[in-house]
Structure 1
Amino acid sequence: MLPPYVTRDLVAERLPLIFPEGTPNRNYCIRELAASTVFTMLYIGAVENNDVYLGPVHVYRMADLQAADSSDESRLSYRSNLRKKKFVVPGVRWYADNTREPIRDETLREGLIVVGAVYEKPGVSTTAGIPRYALKAELAALFNPALQDAELEASIGEWQKAHLNQSALARVSLMRMGATGKDGVLVSFPNGETRTLTHGPSSIISKAVVEVFAKLFLEQPGVIWLSESSHKVAVQDFKLASIIGLDIEAHKNLPDLILVDLGPTDPLIVFVEVVATDGAITPRRQEALYAITDKGKFKRSQVAFVTAYADRETAGFKKTITGLAWGTFAWFMSEPENIVVLRDGVSRLVSLNELVAQPA
């Protein structure tokens, strides 16, 4: 039994709806190679309970004329005869043979299998060159061209709730935080005040830093400074800065956020750079910010640096990770209870065993 014929364009259109921002390894699930893979699974009927399986060869030998032939006879012939030497696939091939690895390792194993869209036939040796992948039946149903508009949206929502795990659902939810609202992104500060920032990915991350990060990682948080590109200064609490002895009036090159933790005996100053596309805490940036606290006679043990991102999958993180300064932290809005420590070698070097044994 073959599922209804669909075009690769329709598959490509629906994949980003099914796997929204925050989905683990989302790029592997929505890029063109993923659309080609899902299309080919549907084309040959490699769907759960059909006892039909796809191998990467089905994808990289697909050609434009073959893909456009929607007849059951042609689809079944491609499925059954592809491996025969005399079988000729009509048209221009989509991919070269060396696309086998990214199809298998990225699109399937690191992408669609991880999010529960594809299953691998059990009992097949990892070295066996036989087809082993099939679409889950409930996912395959989402590509039925008869499913449209509100019905499609509802079906996708039901699939996400049933098949994306709790961690993935949480990431999707957090990635959507603050993304709606006619008037902008409303931020609630620790002192009870609220401010509205203009729409944009940086504002959404800033909101998460103030409302989520500060509550999780600071004992008694306060916001001294928050800037945004459109208005440059959205919040500046000179009174709070004065209480702890931090002079921010004389400095124009400040970070996106300055938080303070008033809980410790010696207040902790936290410089935060928000990265939507660029602007992380680099070594040069770290030293420039240390100059502000050095002038205020703060010990460097009272200063922390955080680069805040939306998610580990974002282009901003991938672009800036290699430039992050040692002795700083990286935090992700989509995984709020975790933090990355870029530990420097200033203090005594310890063994990996000691690091693992340290209490969380």
Structure 2
Amino acid sequence: MRKVISPEEAERRLQIIFPRAAFDTVFSSPLAAMAVAALIYVDAVCSADDAAETVRWARPTTVLWMSKAVLACDTDAERIAWSDAAAKGNRHVVALQQAWNIPFEPAYRDNSRETLRDETFKGWLTHNAIRNRPGLPKSSPLPMWSLLDSFASLFDPGMTDEEFKEAADQWRDQNLDPGTRLKAAFALNEEVHKHAVKVRLPNSNGATRTLAAGISSLIIKGIVETWALARLKLPVVLAISEPGDKVHLADDALLRKLGIKIDDKNVLPDVIIADIGSDPVHFWIIEAVATDGIVSEQRRGMLLDWAAKQNIKNDRCSFLTAFRSRNAAPARKRLKDLASGTWAWFADEPEYELAWYRIYV
């Protein structure tokens, strides 16, 4: 059986997995933390493929009847005994704890089950953190909930803080949709400013670039990891520039083949991506806007001048301005100033894109 985790530590980790600036607080509340601790305690953990009859399922009351005193009785035999008693009903739990000389002092009242079942568990279910027993109605009194093992593994008390944060990042990447991942990344960045932003480059054999912490870097992460893969046929990141004249280059051989020379004296955009799946190769010139710096008419002209010096023709260039959100102050202020024939993208709505161009009639 997995090691037992305290509700306090479970809550701390839940707030990193589901930062409250991006998720409903029921995902990381003290009740949610007790749910993690209780389900792990009774071994209600399974894989998505386990046959239902082989899974140890639990009721919401398994969580509500749990207490710190019970969690301290952590031998496998004690945990199985308490799990079996909870599966039978309240009086069996009371009797067992009397035998253990532990008063029955549940952490929550039974009327908390609706919040746990209809809000916390339902939300976790949409994010692949928990599994419910198939074929049972929502109101069934039978045990029907079990944590998915990949989620439960995030609560191994033996993990170091760095190991946990890395595992939490991997879990979010594998289980959350792109928009939800970006919201979580923004929320975590605001809570912990010291963390650098790692960007995985597409079609580069797993290569990454590490950018300074900040909103611009998170927008760039969304552009490279989400927008480019959805929008372009075969995207290759040629360069990423950061404040302070720091430029992250792609493969030098590819740059030479494309005839592009990049240095920190150029009028560089934030990101340059080549769609090498397009014939001829098409170049996307992108600005990530945390405060200002959109592709205005003036900026577009300057960037086309730079492209011409790299022997990139105008008709092979497209321009994107990327914002954190349509509700972000820079977007509200500057959308009206976008250059004609350019696009806009918003990190918190990654499936959509705005186009601004003249209609010819």
Q: With the length of structure 1 as denominator, give the TM-score of the two structures.
A: 0.52
Q: Deviations over 1:340-359 (max 9, x none)?
A: xxxxxxxxxxxxxxxxxxxx
Work out which of the residue numbers 24, 37, 40 in structure 1 matches 2:38: 40
Work out which of the residue numbers 78, 83, 90 in structure 1 matches 2:82: 78
Change (3 A) 1:135 1:187: same
Which letter maps to 1:167? Answer: G
Shift of 1:212: 3.4
Unaligned runs of 5+ in 2: 195-211, 216-289, 300-322, 341-345, 353-361
Which letter maps to 2:291? Answer: V
Change (3 A) 1:164 1:211: same
- Partner residue in 2 for 1:289: none
Q: Deviations over 1:309-338 (max 9, x none)?
A: xxxxxxxxxxxxxxxxxxxxxxx9845899
1:13 aligns with 2:12: yes
- Partner residue in 1 for 2:258: none
**Conserved? CA contact 2:292–2:330, under 8 Å:** yes
1:103 aligns with 2:116: yes
Q: What is the distance in 2 between the residues matched to 1:63 and 1:157?
A: 30
**Conserved? CA contact 1:189–1:211, under 8 Å:** no
Q: What is the distance in 2 between the residues matched to 1:45 and 1:144?
A: 13
Which letter maps to 1:209? Answer: A
Which letter maps to 1:63? Answer: S
Deviates most, 43-52 or 77-86: 77-86
Change (3 A) 1:80 1:178: closer
1:212 aligns with 2:210: no
Shift of 1:65: 1.6
Q: Secondary structure at the match of 1:70?
A: coil
Q: How many equivalent residue pairs? A: 215
Q: What is the distance in 2 between the residues matched to 1:117 and 1:75?
A: 22
Q: What is the distance in 1 between the residues matched to 2:133 and 2:109?
A: 25
Which letter maps to 2:337? Answer: Q
Change (3 A) 1:189 1:142: same
Which letter maps to 2:37? Answer: F
Which letter maps to 1:141? Answer: S
Work out which of the residue numbers 46, 69, 74 in structure 1 matches 2:73: 69
Q: Deviations over 1:80-120 (max 9, x none)?
A: 012243441433220111111111111111x2112221111
Deviates most, 161-170 or 205-214: 205-214
- Partner residue in 1 for 2:222: none
- Partner residue in 2 for 1:121: 133
Shift of 1:162: 0.5
**Conserved? CA contact 1:174–1:334, under 8 Å:** no
Change (3 A) 1:163 1:207: closer
Q: What is the distance in 2 between the residues matched to 1:131 and 1:24?
A: 27
Change (3 A) 1:206 1:62: closer
1:187 aligns with 2:191: no
Shift of 1:145: 1.4
Q: What is the distance in 2 between the residues matched to 1:183 and 1:170?
A: 14
**Conserved? CA contact 2:59–2:142, under 8 Å:** yes
Q: Secondary structure at the match of 1:147?
A: coil
**Conserved? CA contact 1:175–1:333, under 8 Å:** no
Q: What is the distance in 2 between the residues matched to 1:335 and 1:206?
A: 7
Q: With the length of structure 2 as denominator, give the TM-score of the two structures.
A: 0.52
> What's the % identity of the aligned pairs?
23
Unaligned runs of 5+ in 1: 194-203, 222-261, 264-331, 339-360
Task: Give runs of aligned pairs for residues 204-243 of structure 1, distance below 5 A.
Answer: 209-214=328-333, 218-220=335-337
- Partner residue in 2 for 1:168: 180
Deviates most, 171-180 or 127-136: 171-180
- Partner residue in 2 for 1:28: 26
Q: Deviations over 1:257-314 (max 9, x none)?
A: xxxxx99xxxxxxxxxxxxxxxxxxxxxxxxxxxxxxxxxxxxxxxxxxxxxxxxxxx
Q: What is the distance in 1 between the residues matched to 2:333 and 2:347?
A: 12
Change (3 A) 1:23 1:86: same
Q: What is the distance in 1 between the residues matched to 2:214 and 2:348?
A: 20
Shift of 1:15: 0.9
**Conserved? CA contact 1:12–1:31, under 8 Å:** yes
Which letter maps to 2:57? Answer: Y
